[in-house]
Amino acid sequence: MLYQIADGTVSLGGTVILSHINFEIRGNEKIAVVGKNGAGKTTLLKLIAGELELDRDDRRQGTGIFKSFRVTVGMLKQQAFSDGSRTVEEEMVSCCPAGGSFERERFEYEREFNRLFTGFGFVMDDRKKRLREFSGGEQTKIALIRLLLMKPDILLLDEPTNHLDIPAAEWLEQYLKGYPHAVVMVSHDRFFLDRTVDVVYEVGRGKLSRFPGNYTEYRQEKLRRIARQRKEYGRAKEEAARLNRVIERFKNKPSKAAFARAKKKQLERMGHVEPPESDDVHLFAEAMEPLIPGSKWVLEAEHAGIGYDRTLLEVTLRVRRGQKIGILGDNGVGKTAFLKTVAGLIPPRRKGKKEGGASHESRFSLGNHITIGYFDQHSAEIESEKSVAQHFHDLFPSMSEKEVRTTLGAYLFSGREASKRVSDLSGGEKARLVLAEILHSRPNFLVLDEPTNHMDIQAKETLESAFRAYTGTILFVSHDRYFICQVADSVLIFDGHGVMYYPFGYAHYLERAGREDSEMSIAAQVSAEDAALIAGIRAVPKAERHRLKEIPEEEAYLDWKLRLAREKLEASGERYGELIRARNRLWEELWEWEAEHPASENGQGNERLAQINRECEESWEIWHEACLGWYENCKK
């Protein structure tokens, strides 16, 4: 056992924060600590770091904290650097355990420093800059690099992905997976937790509960536990009610008095039945239908220029009713400008980019009866002296007070929260209130720019449930990768050169992009223009396609070629998968045979293995050619 807290209590200012908790770190576990804001997550980290001590408890055996001999603990401090005049290089060299400039340990330390420094998005020339020249977020990243270089036995991280963009967060994920020691972290980045941790501790009501697995597995297990508790509580209440009825019926009958007393003792032995814990997240079970369905095609753009004073990119796409599309891309490529163009806040630039001296005619239009609900960070800048309930009721005056309270409760504004002044809400709470207003007005097209910024996990998961229940169309930008996975059924990738469309969702996109055989992901990233073309052709009944002048013969020919290429791709992929599974089964059979006959050689089995290996190689070549063929057709 690397570290253990047994029956520990922590109080601050006379208030008990953590009560009789048990906590342990085994080996090089990667542990997440989750819970509501103010539940005691940071208090637990400070306790492990030695900045706080357990309360005295005469009933507890020992000090309450047990750890391995000479265990080192490292935690990121709020005040990162005391001397801002030092350069990054001077700060890092001062922390190097090796004294001499030419020692092997010094070489390894500097090589690791360079790897971390560039991994977090810095360039090598930044090493010479003084610490005060960096922003607060950059200084936090440099302090994290310093902490990682120390390689403590227990690494404590409080919101490590704050100030990190997606590439840097992904890089840190991979680094922590291979970190040789234990890590305990607090983070609101659920995707990051899913990729890095194998144990989750939940803090709530001053208690700690341990769950094996990553964040998603923790949520699934917690919901199962709550469901079991509700069933047990319901059965216990029913049994208590039945016993009470029996006691009332027979207590005054002399011949049944003993029977009634026995039932009363049975009821007393049951004791007080604790009600089940409630989940902090509200899950929307019923579909949320827009007031007006709107037309089948919600948005159609053809060579539309997107930008403010200049064209950032050109977009050709079609968005179908009911699609939920997440937009990916680096900062500055035009994601927000595109959303503002869709919402009508800025006009599309009438001419697209020039190609070969010519320019395309641009077109950008919404479908018939499309009603937009638009949200960006400025949408949450609301100020009002009214309570949340009164503010909401003024927007929807036909609702009764009970309906207002019920609706707000579904968005986590229940009881006291609904009685707060709007001006007293935090930024995340204001954003949640505005999104509740938008969803309750039931438009058929939601255009959202970073809808869950500054929200805690409970608020994010509630809104994810609402957006999944919503049956209209959603087009959104978010840096919350878990939110994208939960809501988007397809993604648009803005890369500065154009727009690519991936139809299988974000998790599938990441899975394909991370594989060595990345031809499959490349082939599946159809340009948005080609996807719009194919969608348009398929929207017309096949029997009538030849009658439409709007569909040239070349485009119909392209659709036909894509269909043939896709069929070939799918068939060859299935064949390759079958051969791989067959080879794996054969390997297992050979291993079992060799275990039973260690001194013999299975010549026939080895021949079969060599044959199936040749077939796998041939099948891979066919599948690879099919991928490239599909990709080449998509580019035309």
* CA–CA distance, 193 with 185 (Å, rounded to integer): 9
Give the per-residue pLDDT at 76. Answer: 80
Average pLDDT, the chain: 84
Per-residue three-class SS string for 303-335:
EEEECCCCCCEEEEEEEECCCEEEEEECCCCCH
554 lies in the same domain as 535: no
Task: Answer whether residue 276 is part of any domain.
Answer: no
339 lies in the same domain as 201: no
Give the per-residue pLDDT at 544. Answer: 39
Give the per-residue pLDDT at 539. Answer: 52
Task: Answer whether residue 25 is part of any domain.
Answer: yes
Of 440, 458, 474, the domain-final residue: 440
165 lies in the same domain as 242: no
Say how many CA atoms lie within 13 Å of 293 toward its Cβ: 5
Of 270, 298, 330, the domain-final residue: 270
Q: How many structural domains does the chain have?
A: 5
In sign, the C-alpha dihedral spanning 446, 451, 455, 461 is positive
Is 77 exposed, middle or buried (CB count within 10 Å of its CB: 0-12, 13-18, 19+)?
middle
331 lies in the same domain as 383: no
Give the per-residue pLDDT at 329. Answer: 87
Task: Answer whether residue 620 is part of any domain.
Answer: yes
187 lies in the same domain as 229: no
594 lies in the same domain as 512: no
Give the per-residue pLDDT at 177. Answer: 92
* CA–CA distance, 383 with 216 (Å, rounded to integer): 36
Q: What is the mean pLDDT of residues 172-181?
A: 93
Task: Answer whether residue 126 is part of any domain.
Answer: yes
294 lies in the same domain as 332: yes
387 lies in the same domain as 304: no
Give the per-residue pLDDT at 483. Answer: 95
Task: Answer whether residue 278 is part of any domain.
Answer: no
Cβ proximity of 201 and 31 under 8 Å: yes
82 lies in the same domain as 12: yes
Task: Answer whether residue 277 is part of any domain.
Answer: no
Greatest mean pLDDT among 454-458, 577-581, 617-621 lies in: 454-458
Give the per-residue pLDDT at 313. Answer: 84
Question: Domain holding 314: CATH number?
Answer: 3.40.50.300
Task: Answer whether residue 283 is part of any domain.
Answer: no
Give the per-residue pLDDT at 557. Answer: 52
Q: What is the mean pLDDT of residues 593-609?
A: 72
- Domain assignment of residue 141, given as a range: 3-219
Of 522, 539, 556, the domain-final residue: 539
Q: What is the mean pLDDT of residues 395-410?
A: 95
Task: Answer whether residue 282 is part of any domain.
Answer: no
301 lies in the same domain as 395: no
Q: How many CB atoms lie within 10 A of CB 472?
A: 26
Q: Could you tell me what percent of the chain has a pLDDT over 70?
A: 85
81 lies in the same domain as 175: yes
472 lies in the same domain as 409: no
Confidence of residue 521 (pLDDT cuts 50, 70, 90): very low
Give the per-residue pLDDT at 528. Answer: 59
Give the per-residue pLDDT at 199. Answer: 97
